[in-house]
């Protein structure tokens, strides 16, 4: 394992986002000239490595950096732009990041995306097409249990863009039991808002997560995720999902069969979806929900990714042999 110079900077482990302006410089310092095939796993900058003309570069890109691209304006709004003195520097940093990122994308021969949603984001940012291969979900970890119990689960990192506070507010009004699993920068703020029926559990071991999902009435989310691993895990546990109709979750949940969508990301819309679910909950078949999740298994991912890489590698070798 080779690390960049960023790891040696003060506070890099806990406040790595502060070094975003240095990310492009850091990734370009890795010398990969000894390798024929480069496979980058990229969220922000890994796809920007510098390569030789005779190297093949395949990038599994989770999303173009959302704060710089498709979530740029919503990110600034969440920063309370009227009073935040760092807003102008942030705008400048993200502007120049976009310029670098557009150039860096040209260094990739083939993009692979975890969802159709992300493929659209890649096209919008880079004007590049991407093959969609859904990420691996360890569906075998989860077992649907019966009978189901009368509580709901929200499984998420507690960051602003995940909108867990919206879920908590909905359950504050409804008075129904909700277990929130996850930690993050918003944990303290959301915990202060939570009523007694909302249980803020923080990070939990895998055994607890599996048990909660295995018997929950439903899993609730308000995020717009690039895919939504926790949503697929909930489905693997036979757990219906109540989700905002946006992002990769639309490719996981089958509306009316394995969960319910709501179309507006606000408390009233979510409450209405929960009430619809309560009325139609008997229609959700655990075996059907579980079967839906098996589309995202690890074995399927390994097969599809291996076939894709081998195919592109064979074409690449033929191209260079012909030369």
Strand 198-202 and strand 130-132: the pairing is unpaired
Q: Which pLDDT band, with edges at 50, 70 and 90, does 86 fall under?
A: low
Looking up residue 183, the CATH number of its domain turns out to be 3.40.50.2000
Distances in Å between the Cα of 5 and the Cα atoms of 17, 24, 49, 91, 94 are 15, 12, 15, 25, 21
- Assign 3-class secondary structure to 119-154: HHHHHHHHCCCEEECCCCECHHHCCCCCCCCCCEEE
Residues 125 and 191 occupy one common structural domain: no
Residues 84 and 205 occupy one common structural domain: no
Residues 87 and 185 occupy one common structural domain: no
Residues 193 and 237 occupy one common structural domain: yes
Residues 209 and 263 occupy one common structural domain: yes
Mean of pLDDT values over 103-120: 98
**Helix (H) or strand (E) segment spanning residue 235:** helix 229-236
Residues 40 and 105 occupy one common structural domain: yes
Residues 52 and 170 occupy one common structural domain: no
Residues 143 and 132 occupy one common structural domain: no
Mean of pLDDT values over 137-149: 93
> Strand runs (DSSP E) across the chain, as ranges?
37-42, 56-61, 110-113, 130-132, 152-155, 178-181, 198-202, 218-221, 241-244, 259-262
Residues 47 and 132 occupy one common structural domain: yes
Flag whether pLDDT at 81 surpasses 70: no
| 8 A C-beta contact, residue 125 and residue 48 | no
Report the pLDDT value the prediction gives residue 85, as an integer from 0 to 100: 54
What total number of domains does the chain contain? 2
Residues 169 and 261 occupy one common structural domain: yes
Flag whether pLDDT at 79 surpasses 70: no
Residues 79 and 164 occupy one common structural domain: no
| 8 A C-beta contact, residue 148 and residue 170 | no
Flag whether pLDDT at 78 surpasses 70: no
Q: Which pLDDT band, with edges at 50, 70 and 90, does 90 fall under?
A: confident
Report the pLDDT value the prediction gives residue 322, as an integer from 0 to 100: 64
Give the residue numbers spanning the domain of 286: 139-295
Report the pLDDT value the prediction gives residue 83, as an integer from 0 to 100: 52
- What's the pTM value of the predicted model, to 2 decimals? 0.91
What percentage of the chain exceeds 70 in pLDDT? 96
The residue with greater pLDDT, 320 or 92, is 92
Residues 282 and 194 occupy one common structural domain: yes
């Amino acid at each position: 394992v080779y690390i960049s110079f960023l790891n040696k900077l003060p506070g890099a482990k806990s406040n790595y986002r502060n070094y975003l302006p240095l990310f492009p410089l850091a990734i370009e310092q890795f010398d990969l000239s000894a390798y024929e095939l480069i496979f980058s796993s990229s969220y922000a900058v890994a796809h920007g490595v510098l390569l030789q003309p005779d190297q093949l570069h395949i990038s599994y890109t989770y999303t173009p950096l959302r704060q710089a691209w498709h979530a740029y304006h919503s990110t600034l709004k969440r920063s309370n732009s009227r009073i935040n003195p760092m807003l102008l520097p942030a705008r400048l940093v993200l502007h120049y990041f976009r310029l670098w990122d557009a150039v860096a994308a040209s260094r990739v021969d083939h993009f692979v995306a975890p969802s159709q949603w992300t493929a659209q984001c890649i096209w919008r940012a880079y004007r590049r097409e991407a093959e969609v291969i859904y990420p691996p979900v360890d569906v075998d970890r989860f077992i649907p249990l019966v009978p189901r119990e009368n509580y709901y689960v929200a499984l998420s990192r507690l960051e602003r863009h995940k909108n867990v506070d919206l879920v908590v507010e909905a359950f504050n009004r409804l008075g129904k039991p909700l277990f929130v699993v996850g930690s993050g920068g918003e944990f303290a703020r959301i915990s202060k808002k939570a009523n007694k029926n909302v249980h803020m559990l923080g990070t939990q071991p895998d055994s607890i997560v599996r048990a909660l999902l295995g018997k929950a009435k439903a899993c609730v989310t308000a995020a717009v995720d690039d895919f939504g691993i926790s949503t697929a895990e909930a489905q693997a546990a036979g757990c219906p999902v109540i989700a905002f109709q946006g992002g990769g979750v639309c490719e996981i949940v089958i509306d009316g069969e394995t969960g319910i969508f709501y179309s507006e990301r606000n408390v009233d819309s979510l409450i209405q979806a929960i009430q619809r679910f309560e009325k139609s909950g008997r229609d959700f078949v655990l075996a059907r929900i579980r079967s839906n999740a098996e589309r995202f298994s690890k074995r399927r991912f390994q097969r599809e990714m291996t076939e894709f890489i081998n195919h592109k590698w064979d074409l690449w070798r033929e191209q260079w042999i012909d030369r």
